[in-house]
Every structure is written in structure tokens, then in C-alpha cells.
């Protein structure tokens, strides 16, 4: 294959290679020792050397070199991988066989050899060949990508059209394409929809009219399936100001799923920095294919359905049937196999689900294939149970893969059997993990390493030996016999269930167990069943000693997180006896501190950053993590509570406990849609459902623990650990339905919230064996009359019966849909806050500021699309203050400056942009914020003349102008203009009024000088030359160009003479005063033609050679000198005071921003050819609107 050209020095390489073929420009070589029957000593040594090297260091046996006559450096264009220690500087291609390398040689002879003779310059030959080889590499890459698609030839053809039509950089990867119609009003436009990694693009050419539509995924605020008068099913894309409908797809369901996936991936990668690192699939957008997106969607469903760790990767999904002994038949369903699990889900929803962690599996065996049991396998687990699967397609490869992963899991976590003990499997208590050494599950023990597992209970005195609730003994008066009898009945029902369905994490999960959970788990079994339902028991057993090491590493350290934890310790269930002593408080402190140490990104989250997106107002601070952990400690041992907290925060409630609580806000938005769907009358009455957010958001963040009596709320937690977030959705709907009548009759939002808080505070648990403990976070109200009591069991049963039909797949689809809305809502809040800070300080109109912000953000995003991350330009960080979330570096600033700045200076624009960036970069972190960018533009467009001149002046002195400045490396040896020009100026029209204006301006200057503002340093001759060069460049193509040139020539002459006068009088120290007086006198005396009539002309040498060739450091002029001199020329005053229209610039920038970035990146990827026309075309990029060398693409960027 072709490789990127690399330089090869042949001085020492000739002994290792033998030339096979040669021509004027190319050499085909063979590696010594390869293909030689007998071989000499040298060949044998080389062959032995190649043989002992590993595959990553071996050199391909054939290569082709490009030889440029007269040069000792050869470019290897068809060679192998680098040999360690060889003198190879660049590599390009490889030939493993003689046939392969001959194909490359034939192509060169047929396509390049005769063409190279037309070049006169050997450097042009090298550049031309390198460019051709790079093009071949790009074509091969595209072909490989096409091969991954279902129809490679068609995809390759679509890829060529996509690149030609939209002219994106190579980094923009096409994922898939579809034929469809884009509706404009009632008129459909037939064309092609292209879905790439960062954009949705549509192209249509109909009746001579071409339409190109480009919508970045990050601009999409809503993506939904709708219907209209003409079509029953369309895909609607909503951006900031537009809605676009697409229809007439062959498979609309497939298209919509791919679009949802791409929008979700891109928004999470670019806007949700907190969740980005958790999903490695998002980190390489250039590798995303349609097949990858489909696999990712299936993988996410798998993890959500079985609530498995996010690191689990799905390997296979196969149809099969599982023998279910409780029904005495085989149940049809699907088997899911991943890194560490075998899972089964029946086709009939909630009929039967099974989760088999591989660490619980003892063996996987194939049985004899029969007509009654086709392709069966038996999976045996440690608790003396076996699962029989039949009707497995491709059984052999499936079992082979499972055995490999089973071996790996057991190697990572060794186990051995304890045959000397026969466990009583009918006991209601479970053998689980309380300490880090001997983890017992049934008849199996975990073998812990000596370093991590040798600390038993007796060696860890601070570890709580049991759940905290066992230490709270209720008196006889507090524990009625009826409650205890109901508790015993529940325990008996669960024991019967364990016998029939299994008692470990591998139990059969059916509708029967859901009904038992809805009744409430007995307190003696609650902690153990929470561990099994969440599969935290597997994590606990796989990490012996982990919790202890975290506690030892984190305790005693003082930081902001530990201070917050200490502040909230005594606010966590203060009414409960378990937390009225140091034992409970200490355990809570250890668990919270250990988790904050384990996961610093979450740390100790109290949802204080939660925001109502629609009302843009902060909500009350919610105590969430400490309340949840307190309840876990009541029913589970300390180490078990830690792993339950891990399961909740990292798997069951993803992205809930982060800086912006994105996950909770997404589920809150999903909940609002469910209200509209299931409770339409209530939704119609409450026009703004976000009014419920102050109370309903806490339902999700605290699982009802903060707004419901504890003895009732734990039943909700039971359902949550079994059914996941679905239980919270359906219970919330049941609460709203129970109060629908009162809510519809409420007069305002406050009364509606009071209705809900009173209802939730009066939910009781008649089966609780303990005394009632109220919710310390509930809304309190002065009840005028007793409120009716609702039993929690009845409420949960109603929630399952009326709202329990939502599947996990439907909820995950709604989450994906609303995540886009929530993330875009945060972006809107960021924009509003940034503009609110900037608007009072500038004169640019608010609507123009919005356009500028969008351009600023898009420039940042384009670098994220197509450039590799640079350390100076980090990703979007939502944890930073609003004004600092989007920042741009020098290159991005130069693009924006070129697009929107009124000071365009041709080829000099790039240099002026670099100086402006250095001036604005106050903290020298090589990044600037939006406020600094806009403040600079505001001076250019709306500033007074003296403000504009001051800005120009600052751009030509340090720190903006540096010694290494690109345009000042070769300063002029002579003054820019000869100072021998006469100093007599003609009178202008309206001389009297003009002199008054000049007088007033000089007075204003004097006042400014008296201010406390730090005086600007004076400008040296080198800096002044650059200042004049910028002015000359700014006047190019202006209608008054000739007058401006004459005026600036005159002013430059005056300033050069002022600087020389200062240089001659620097020894006396009176230069600045005399010059200032002379300038003021000339301005105040209309009768005099000379501006500096009082200056002693005898002291001014008329010979230009009297000036030193280089400034000695004494030649200086000040800002006041420059401004006063410019004021003497009316054309210059008119130029700097004429009104400037920013709107036309913004419209042009929206059209050309993508063009400029694309052209720049395409030029970077092309070889640098030294053509004769390079100097003529060198400045073609300086004005995008006038570019002729590059084709202009008519972009339609939807805001």
C-alpha cells in the first residue's frame, strides 16, 4: 500500500537493500536476505535481524524510492515500516510481495513517469509526486470506509458527491445518505440527505435551481417525527429560528434512529463535557459508521434494560428459549452476552428476565442436539442451579466466546469451593459480603489477595458490623403486634419465592417478584435484596478491600468536599435514632468521603446547580446524596451501602449527580411529556408544566425520600432498585392523578405545589414495624382540616396498574429526545448570561451581538469538528463561569477578525489580527473570551476617532507588537517618508469651524491625560513604521483612496519631524513640551499656514540623510502627537468618523465562515508546491468575498 512520503538517507542503507529496477526518477529495491536461496553472509545477517524483530518493527521486503537528480535524499513512496535504528526519516507505502510492489511500479510508469519531464525544478517534481501519493492514500482510505458499508460501490459514489457538493475538510466523515424530500412550505424539493459526523446536509438540483442546506448537529434543538396535511409521517428538525421537514424516505424509522443517534453523540461530545469521558465511543467521531451507531444504540439499550455498568460491552444478541421450571416449559426470548454477563429477556414483556454474572458461572457446556432440544447449552452457577438454553444459532462460536470470557473473569477474580459446608438454601438470610476478606455466596468463597483481603472485622474497628437499623430497638408500644405479624407474612412469602425462583442474583425475575416488591420488602431482607436487584453484590465481591483502602486514603484529609460533607452530616435524617449518635454519623461520613475520593467528577453532589431551564431561576438546594446514603446505611452494612451508592450514582441514575444534574433534568423533561400523554386534562389546565419542577425534580433526585415519610419512601426505593427509573416515572404520574381534581382547581402555582406537598406528607405505611418518621424536607403548611391518609402500598399498586406499561426502550428513546432539549437549554442560558453582561458595556445592538455570539461559538465548534484537540484550545467546559465556557485561540480569532472586522488590510489583515489577539490576551493564557472580542469590535465600529486611534496605537506597541512580529523582522533602513517635504499645508473649506473643532479635541486630549489612567508608552521609529504601514493598508480600495494617501503622507512627514525634534532635544529633556506647545499654537492660529510655525526651522535638517538609518532609542512620538496630527487632515477625520454597518459584515460572515475554514484546512492538507504563480495568489484568502482562486460554496447555515 501507499505510505506518506518519508525521507531516506541511502548512505548507510545500501548494504541492507538491493536495487531490482530503476528509472530516471524511481528505484525499486529488495531487502537483502529476502528471496535468496543460498544467500551471502550479509543477506543472512539481515534476514536473521528481520526474523528476530517483532511485527511492529519489521521492515517490508520491497520498497520504491523517488530519486530527484542531484539530490542525496530519496523519498520512499512504496516502502515498509520503520526499522528501529535505521536512517529513515519519512515512510510512505509498503510491498509485502513482489506482485504487490510491481503493481505500484507499473502505476508509476504509466501515470507519472512521462509527466515528470515537463518540470524544470527538481523541488516541483518531489512536491508533485508527494501530492499524488497523498491523494492515492486518501482514495484508499475512502475505499476502506466504503467497504464497511452494506453497498460499498454506491457509498463510494455518494462520498465523492458529498465531498464535491459541500467542500468539507477531509475530517468530516460521511456516515450515511438517503433520498428524500425537503419541504419548503407546501413545495417539496426532491434531493439527497447526507448525514455526517457533525452536520446534516441536504442537496437538491431541480429545474436549474440548486439548494444546499447545512445544519450542524449542535444547532438542532428538537428532532421529532410529525405529520402534516399532505403526509402522515415526516421528520422535523427545529433550530433556533427555523423548522424543516423531511419526508418520503424508504425506511423513515431507520433514518430517524440514525439521526437521533448522531445528534445525541455529537451534542454529548461537544456540549456535555461532564459525561464525555465516560463513553469512549464518542471520542473518535472520524471512526463512526452507520453500523457502529446501530451497535451503540443496542449496547445502550442492553445496559439500561439490565442496569449494568457502563463499561460493559455487548458482544452478541441471539434468539433462544430458556427452560423456566416454575412454568415447566421453555420461554422464548433473546440471550445477551457481554464482557462479564449472560442475560436473558423473554419476548413477552416482564414474563421472565435473568442476569448471570460470569463470576457466578461454574461451567458452560454443550448438550447433545436432539429434535426436542435443538442446539442446547447448560450454564451452571455456584448456587447449585443450572440454566438450559435451546435453539441457539451458531452455538459453537457462541460457546467458544463465552468460555474465553469466563476464563478471563475467573482469572481476574479466583474462586474456590467450600465442600465442607452445606448451606441452608431455605434460609431467608443471604450469604453476602460484609468485609473485604471472605466473600461468601452460597457454597462459594472469594479468594482475596494477601495484601487486600487479610484485614478481617477485628482489624477494622471503625467498620459498622451490621445495618444501622438493627441497632434501633423499638419498644413494645412502638411496635404493634399487627405490624409484626404482617412483616412475618411477607418474610414467609419471600421464602416461598426463593425456593421456586432462586435466591441469588441469578434468580428468575418475573411478574410475581414485582408484585412482592410492590407490597414492600421486609426490613430484614431489604438490604440484601437491594444488593441483588442492583447487582451491587457482584461489584462488592469483585473488589475485596477496595472500600477499606478508599476510607484509609480519604479520611483525615481536608478540602472543600469534606467541608460540605461535615456541614450536612447532622442534616441527614436527624429524626431517626440511628443518626442521633456518633456511630451512624461516622459511618455516613466514611461512605460519603470514600465515594467522593473514588469519583472526584461527582464528588459530593447536592444538586445545588440545578436550574429550571424554562424559568431560568435557581431552585432550592436539594439534599440528595446524603439522604440517599443515610437510608442505604439503615438497611445495609457499611461496605454494602457504599457499593449500592456506586450502583445508583453511576448506573441507575446516570448523570444525576453531576455539576449540572443533566440526567435529572432530562428525566424531568421526559416526565412532563408523559404528563401530556397520560394526563391530558391536567396538562391542559396547567399550561406551563415547568411550574411543577420545584417539587417534582426532587422526586427524581432523592427518590421521594426528601418529600415523603421515611417508612413510606423506602417502599418506593424497593421498586426503584427492582424496576429502575421507570418506578419513579409511574409513581409520579399516580401522585398527580390522585390530586388531579385539586390541581385543576388551584388558582396559582403556589397552591398547586401546596396540594402536592400536603398529599405526599400524608402517605403512610401501615405495614411498617417501626414508628412513623416524617419527612424533614417536606413542605409544611398549616392544615385547617385533617388531610386524608393514603397507604403507600395502594399508591404503588395503582402506579403499576395504570402507568406501568412503559417499556425501557420507550423511556430510553424519550431520554435521548429530551437530552437534546436540555443541553440546548443550557446553551441558551449560557448565551443569555453572556449577553446580559456584555450589552451594557458596548454600543452594538443586541440582535447583532447575538449574531456575533453565534459566530464566535461556531468558530470554536469548527475547530472541534475538524482539528485535533490542542492544549491551548480545550473543549467546551460547562463547569466554568458562563463567560469562560467558550474561548478561542489565536488562529480562531484570526478567522473571525478577517470576517467581521472593518479594518481589512489585504494581506496585512492576518498580521493585524495577531497583534489584536496579543493585546486582548491580558492573562497571556493564549485564549480570549467573547467579551474581549466584542469590546474590541465595538471600538472599531462605534468608537470615537480618538478611541480608534488609541486602539491602533496600542496595536503597534508592546505587548501587541513584539520583536518576533512577522511583519517587523526586516524594518526599513530609511525613514518611511522623507522629512524634506515642505511643512506648509493648504487651508481647508470651513477653516474657522474646523479650527474650533480641533481646539476642542486637543482640550479633550488634555483632560484625558489628567485622568488616573496609565499613560501609554511612546512609540519608537520601528513601531511607528509598522503603524504607518497598517494605515496605508487600511485605505486600500477606499473610494477616497488617493486623498487618504496624500493626507497620510503629509501627516507621516509631520510626525517624522516631530520625532526627530524630540531626538535632537532629548538631552535637554524639553522636547515633548516644545513640540506640544508648537502643535497647540499651530492649531489655535488660523492665520498661519504651517502647523508648526513656531518650530525653529533652522534646527530641522533638510537633508534626509541626516536621519540615522536605525532608531537609537530616542526617536519617539506619543499618542497625543499622532492624534493631533491626524486631526489636521479632514480626509483622515472623515475616514475614522464615518458610520460603519456591521450587519452586512455579519451576513457575509455567516455565508463565508465555513468557506474560510474549509479553504484553510484544504490548503494545509495539500503539498506546498513552489509554483511561479504563488506570489500572485498569495493574498487571495484575505478577502473571502473577492476570492477567485477557490470555488465558493453557497452555504445555508440554519441558526
Beta bridge partners of 247: 181
What pLDDT does residue 108 have?
80
d(CA 1146, CA 921): 24
Give the list of residues 6+ apart from residue 20 with CB closer than 8 angstroms, or none: 28, 29, 30, 62
Whether 649 contacts 643, CB under 8 Å: no
Residues 1067-1126: tens digit of each pLDDT: 555 444 444 444 343 433 333 333 333 333 333 333 433 333 344 457 899 999 999 999
Residues 269-286: tens digit of each pLDDT: 888 766 555 456 556 777
Residue 199: CB atoms within 10 Å: 23
- Cell 398527580 sits on residue: 736
Burial class from Cβ neighbours inside 10 Å (0-12, 13-18, 19+) for residue 337 reads buried
Residue 936: CB atoms within 10 Å: 21
Q: Of the segments 25-34, 85-94, 758-767, which one has the largest average pLDDT value?
A: 758-767
Burial class from Cβ neighbours inside 10 Å (0-12, 13-18, 19+) for residue 102 reads middle
What pLDDT does residue 53 have?
43
- Between strands 763-764 and 790-791, the pairing is parallel
What pLDDT does residue 877 have?
73
Distances, alpha carbon 547 to alpha carbons 23, 353, 544, 560, 638, in Å: 70, 30, 8, 21, 9
Pull the grid cell for residue 923: 492573562
First-to-final CA distance of the chain: 43
Give the list of residues 6+ apart from residue 865 with CB closer than 8 angstroms, or none: 171, 172, 197, 198
Max distance between CA atoms of the chain, in angstroms, equals 121
What pLDDT does residue 939 have?
95
What pLDDT does residue 866 have?
84
Phi–psi pair at 177, nearest 5 degrees: -150, 155
Question: Does residue 179 sit in helix, strand or coil?
Answer: strand
Radius of gyration in angstroms for the set of CA atoms belonging to the chain, rounded to a whole number: 38
What pLDDT does residue 408 have?
92
The Cα angle at residue 106 between residues 101 and 111, in degrees rounded to 5: 130
- 104 pLDDT above the threshold of 80: yes
Least confident range of 219-233, 490-504, 724-738: 219-233
Residue 20 — very low, low, confident or very high, per pLDDT cuts 50/70/90? confident
Helix (H) or strand (E) holding 194: strand 187-196
- How confident is the prediction for the chain on average, in pLDDT? 78
What pLDDT does residue 695 have?
83
Residue 929 — very low, low, confident or very high, per pLDDT cuts 50/70/90? very high
Expressed in percent and rounded to 5, the helix, strand and coil fractions of the chain are 50, 15, 35
* Among 1178, 1046, 1045, 1054, CA closest to 1122: 1054
Helix (H) or strand (E) holding 126: helix 122-147
Helices (H), 739-843: 740-745, 749-761, 792-803, 808-838
Residue 251 — very low, low, confident or very high, per pLDDT cuts 50/70/90? confident
Question: Does residue 1152 sit in helix, strand or coil?
Answer: helix
Question: Does residue 599 sit in helix, strand or coil?
Answer: coil
DSSP letter assigned to residue 944? -
What pLDDT does residue 1111 have?
40
What pLDDT does residue 613 have?
40
- Cell 457502529 sits on residue: 292
Question: Does residue 205 sit in helix, strand or coil?
Answer: strand
d(CA 723, CA 201): 40
* Among 9, 98, 90, 20, CA closest to 61: 98
Give the list of residues 6+ apart from residue 99 with CB closer than 8 angstroms, or none: none
Q: Global pTM?
A: 0.76
d(CA 746, CA 741): 9
Give the list of residues 6+ apart from residue 557 with CB closer than 8 angstroms, or none: none
DSSP letter assigned to residue 652? I
| Average pLDDT of the residues in 691-720 | 90
Give the list of residues 6+ apart from residue 86 with CB closer than 8 angstroms, or none: 12, 13, 16, 59
CA 689 to chain CA centroid, Å, is 30
d(CA 755, CA 746): 8
- Cell 479520611 sits on residue: 555
Residue 147 — very low, low, confident or very high, per pLDDT cuts 50/70/90? low
| Average pLDDT of the residues in 1009-1019 | 70
Residue 446 — very low, low, confident or very high, per pLDDT cuts 50/70/90? very low
Pull the grid cell for residue 1034: 487600511
What pLDDT does residue 1175 have?
37
- Cell 478471563 sits on residue: 408
Residue 881 — very low, low, confident or very high, per pLDDT cuts 50/70/90? confident
- Top pLDDT among 104 and 1168 is at 104
DSSP of 442-465, one letter per residue?
TTEEE---HHHH---GGG-TTS-S
Question: Beta strands of 368-442 (E only): which ranges?
Answer: 377-381, 386-390, 415-417, 440-441
Give the list of residues 6+ apart from residue 795 with CB closer than 8 angstroms, or none: 731, 734, 735, 738, 763
Q: Give the whole-number percent of the chain exceeding pLDDT 70.
A: 72
* Among 691, 719, 747, 866, CA closest to 803: 719
The Cα angle at residue 271 between residues 266 and 276, in degrees rounded to 5: 75
Question: Beta strands of 314-425 (E only): which ranges?
Answer: 314-324, 329-338, 341-346, 353-357, 361-366, 377-381, 386-390, 415-417
Q: Of the segments 133-142, 201-210, 724-733, which one has the largest average pLDDT value?
A: 724-733
* Among 214, 209, 175, CA closest to 190: 209
What pLDDT does residue 954 have?
94
Residue 1 — very low, low, confident or very high, per pLDDT cuts 50/70/90? low
Amino acid at each position: 500500500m501507499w505510505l506518506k512520503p518519508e525521507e531516506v538517507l541511502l548512505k548507510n542503507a545500501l548494504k541492507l537493500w538491493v536495487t531490482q529496477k530503476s528509472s530516471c526518477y524511481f528505484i525499486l529495491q529488495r531487502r537483502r536476505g529476502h528471496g535468496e536461496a543460498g544467500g551471502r553472509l550479509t543477506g543472512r545477517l539481515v534476514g536473521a535481524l528481520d526474523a528476530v524483530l517483532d511485527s511492529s518493527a519489521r521492515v517490508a521486503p520491497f520498497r520504491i524510492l523517488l530519486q530527484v537528480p542531484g539530490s542525496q535524499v530519496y523519498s520512499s513512496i512504496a516502502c515498509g515500516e520503520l526499522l528501529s535504528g535505521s536512517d529513515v526519516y519519512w515512510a510512505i507505502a509498503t510491498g509485502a510481495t513482489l506482485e504487490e510492489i510491481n503493481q505500484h511500479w507499473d502505476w508509476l510508469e504509466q501515470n507519472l513517469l512521462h509527466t515528470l519531464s515537463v518540470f524544470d525544478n527538481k523541488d516541483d517534481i518531489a512536491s508533485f509526486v508527494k501530492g499524488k501519493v497523498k491523494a492515492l492514500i486518501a482514495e484508499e482510505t475512502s475505499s476502506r470506509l466504503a467497504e464497511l458499508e452494506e453497498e460499498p460501490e454506491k457509498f463510494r459514489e455518494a462520498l465523492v458527491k458529498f465531498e464535491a457538493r459541500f467542500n468539507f475538510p477531509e475530517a468530516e466523515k460521511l456516515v450515511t445518505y438517503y433520498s428524500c424530500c425537503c419541504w419548503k412550505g407546501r413545495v417539496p424539493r426532491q434531493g439527497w440527505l447526507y448525514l455526517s459526523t457533525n452536520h446534516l446536509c441536504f442537496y437538491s438540483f431541480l429545474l436549474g435551481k440548486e439548494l444546499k442546506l447545512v445544519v450542524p448537529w449542535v444547532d438542532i434543538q428538537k428532532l421529532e417525527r410529525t405529520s402534516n396535511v399532505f403526509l402522515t409521517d415526516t421528520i422535523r428538525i427545529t433550530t433556533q429560528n427555523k423548522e424543516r421537514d423531511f419526508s418520503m424516505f424508504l425506511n423513515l424509522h431507520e433514518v430517524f434512529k440514525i439521526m437521533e443517534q448522531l445528534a445525541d453523540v455529537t451534542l454529548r461530545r461537544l456540549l456535555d463535557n461532564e459525561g464525555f469521558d465516560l463513553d469512549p465511543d464518542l471520542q473518535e467521531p472520524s471512526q463512526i459508521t452507520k453500523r457502529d451507531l446501530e451497535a451503540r444504540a443496542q449496547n445502550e439499550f442492553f445496559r439500561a434494560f439490565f442496569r449494568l455498568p457502563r463499561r460493559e460491552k455487548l458482544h452478541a444478541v441471539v434468539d433462544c428459549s430458556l427452560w423456566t421450571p416454575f412454568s415447566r416449559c421453555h420461554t422464548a426470548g433473546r440471550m445477551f452476552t457481554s464482557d462479564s454477563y449472560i442475560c436473558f429477556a423473554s419476548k413477552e414483556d416482564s414474563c421472565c428476565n435473568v442476569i448471570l454474572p460470569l463470576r457466578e458461572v461454574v461451567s458452560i457446556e454443550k448438550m447433545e442436539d436432539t429434535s426436542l432440544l435443538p442446539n442446547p447449552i447448560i450454564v451452571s452457577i455456584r448456587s447449585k442451579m443450572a440454566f438450559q438454553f435451546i435453539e441457539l444459532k451458531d452455538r459453537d462460536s457462541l460457546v467458544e466466546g463465552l468460555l474465553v470470557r469466563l476464563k478471563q473473569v475467573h482469572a481476574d477474580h479466583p474462586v474456590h469451593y467450600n465442600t465442607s459446608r452445606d448451606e441452608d438454601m431455605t434460609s431467608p438470610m443471604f450469604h453476602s459480603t460484609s468485609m473485604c476478606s471472605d466473600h461468601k455466596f452460597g457454597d462459594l468463597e472469594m479468594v482475596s489477595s494477601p495484601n487486600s483481603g487479610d484485614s478481617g472485622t477485628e482489624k477494622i474497628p471503625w467498620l459498622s458490623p451490621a445495618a444501622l437499623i438493627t441497632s434501633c430497638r423499638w419498644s413494645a408500644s412502638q411496635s404493634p403486634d399487627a405490624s409484626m405479624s404482617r412483616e412475618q407474612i411477607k418474610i414467609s412469602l419471600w421464602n416461598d419465592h426463593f425456593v421456586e425462583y432462586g435466591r441469588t442474583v441469578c434468580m428468575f425475575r418475573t411478574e410475581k417478584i414485582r408484585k412482592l416488591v410492590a407490597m414492600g420488602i421486609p426490613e430484614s431482607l431489604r438490604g440484601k435484596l437491594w444488593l441483588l436487584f442492583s447487582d451491587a453484590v457482584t461489584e462488592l465481591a469483585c473488589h475485596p478491600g477496595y472500600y477499606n483502602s478508599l476510607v484509609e486514603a480519604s479520611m483525615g484529609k481536608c478540602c472543600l468536599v469534606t467541608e460540605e460533607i461535615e456541614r450536612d452530616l447532622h442534616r441527614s435524617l436527624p429524626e431517626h435514632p440511628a443518626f442521633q449518635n456518633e456511630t451512624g454519623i461516622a459511618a455516613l461520613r466514611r461512605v460519603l468521603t470514600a465515594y467522593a475520593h473514588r469519583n472526584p467528577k461527582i464528588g459530593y453532589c447536592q444538586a445545588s446547580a440545578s436550574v429550571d431551564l424554562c424559568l431560568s431561576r435557581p431552585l432550592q438546594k436539594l439534599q440528595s446524596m446524603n439522604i440517599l446514603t443515610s437510608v442505604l446505611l439503615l438497611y445495609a452494612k457499611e461496605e454494602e451501602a457504599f457499593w449500592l451508592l456506586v450502583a445508583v450514582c453511576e448506573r441507575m441514575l446516570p448523570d444525576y449527580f453531576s455539576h449540572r444534574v443533566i440526567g435529572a433534568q432530562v428525566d424531568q423533561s421526559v416526565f412532563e411529556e408523559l404528563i401530556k400523554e397520560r394526563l391530558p386534562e391536567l396538562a391542559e389546565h396547567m399550561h406551563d408544566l415547568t411550574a411543577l419542577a420545584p417539587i417534582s425534580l426532587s422526586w427524581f433526585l432523592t427518590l421521594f425520600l426528601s418529600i415523603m415519610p421515611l417508612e413510606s419512601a423506602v417502599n418506593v426505593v424497593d421498586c426503584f432498585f427492582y424496576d429502575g427509573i421507570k418506578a419513579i416515572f409511574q409513581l409520579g404520574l399516580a401522585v398527580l392523578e390522585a390530586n388531579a381534581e385539586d390541581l385543576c382547581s388551584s388558582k396559582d402555582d403556589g397552591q398547586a405545589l401546596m396540594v402536592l406537598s400536603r398529599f405526599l406528607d400524608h402517605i403512610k405505611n401501615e405495614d411498617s414495624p417501626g414508628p412513623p418518621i416524617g419527612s424533614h424536607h417536606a413542605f409544611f403548611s398549616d392544615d385547617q382540616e385533617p388531610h386524608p391518609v393514603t397507604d403507600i402500598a395502594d399508591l404503588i399498586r395503582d402506579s403499576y396498574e395504570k402507568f406501568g406499561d412503559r417499556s425501557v426502550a420507550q423511556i430510553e428513546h424519550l431520554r435521548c429526545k429530551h437530552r437534546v432539549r436540555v443541553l440546548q437549554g443550557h446553551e441558551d442560558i449560557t448565551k443569555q448570561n453572556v449577553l446580559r453582561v456584555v450589552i451594557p458595556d458596548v454600543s452594538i445592538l443586541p440582535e447583532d451581538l447575538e449574531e456575533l455570539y453565534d459566530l464566535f461559538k461556531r468558530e470554536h465548534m469548527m475547530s472541534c469538528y475538524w482539528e485535533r484537540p490542542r492544549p491551548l484550545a480545550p473543549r467546551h467546559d460547562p463547569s466554568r463561569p458562563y463567560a469562560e465556557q467558550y474561548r478561542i485561540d489565536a488562529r480562531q480569532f484570526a478567522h473571525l477578525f478577517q470576517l467581521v472586522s472593518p479594518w481589512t488590510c489585504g494581506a496585512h489583515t492576518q498580521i493585524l489580527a495577531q497583534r489584536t489577539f496579543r493585546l486582548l490576551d491580558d492573562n497571556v493564557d493564549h485564549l480570549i473570551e467573547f467579551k474581549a472580542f466584542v469590546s474590541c469590535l465595538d471600538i472599531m465600529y462605534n468608537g470615537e476617532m480618538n478611541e480608534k486611534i488609541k486602539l491602533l496605537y496600542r496595536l503597534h506597541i508592546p505587548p501587541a507588537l513584539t520583536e518576533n512580529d512577522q511583519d517587523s523582522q526586516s524594518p526599513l533602513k530609511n525613514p518611511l517618508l522623507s522629512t524634506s517635504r515642505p511643512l506648509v499645508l493648504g487651508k481647508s473649506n470651513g477653516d474657522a469651524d474646523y479650527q474650533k473643532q480641533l481646539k476642542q479635541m486637543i482640550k479633550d486630549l488634555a483632560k484625558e491625560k489628567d485622568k488616573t489612567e496609565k499613560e501609554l508608552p511612546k512609540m519608537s521609529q520601528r513601531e511607528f513604521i509598522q503603524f504607518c504601514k497598517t494605515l496605508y493598508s487600511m485605505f486600500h480600495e477606499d473610494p477616497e483612496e488617493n486623498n487618504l494617501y496624500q493626507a497620510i503622507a503629509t501627516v507621516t512627514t509631520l510626525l517624522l519631524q516631530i520625532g526627530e525634534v524630540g531626538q535632537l532635544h532629548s538631552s535637554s529633556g524639553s522636547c515633548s513640551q516644545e513640540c506640544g506647545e508648537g502643535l497647540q499654537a499651530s492649531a489655535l492660529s488660523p492665520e498661519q499656514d504651517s502647523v508648526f510655525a513656531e518650530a525653529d526651522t533652522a534646527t530641522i535638517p533638510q537633508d534626509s540623510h541626516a536621519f540615522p538609518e536605525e532608531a537609537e532609542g530616542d526617536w519617539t512620538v506619543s499618542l497625543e502627537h499622532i492624534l493631533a496630527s491626524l486631526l489636521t487632515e479632514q480626509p483622515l477625520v472623515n475616514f475614522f468618523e464615518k458610520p460603519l454597518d456591521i450587519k452586512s459584515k455579519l451576513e457575509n460572515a455567516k455565508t463565508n465562515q465555513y468557506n474560510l475554514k474549509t479553504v484553510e484546512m484544504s490548503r494545509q492538507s495539500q503539498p506546498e508546491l513552489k509554483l511561479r504563480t504563488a506570489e500572485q495568489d498569495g493574498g487571495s484568502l484575505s478577502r473571502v468575498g473577492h476570492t477567485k482562486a477557490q470555488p465558493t460554496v453557497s452555504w445555508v447555515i440554519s441558526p
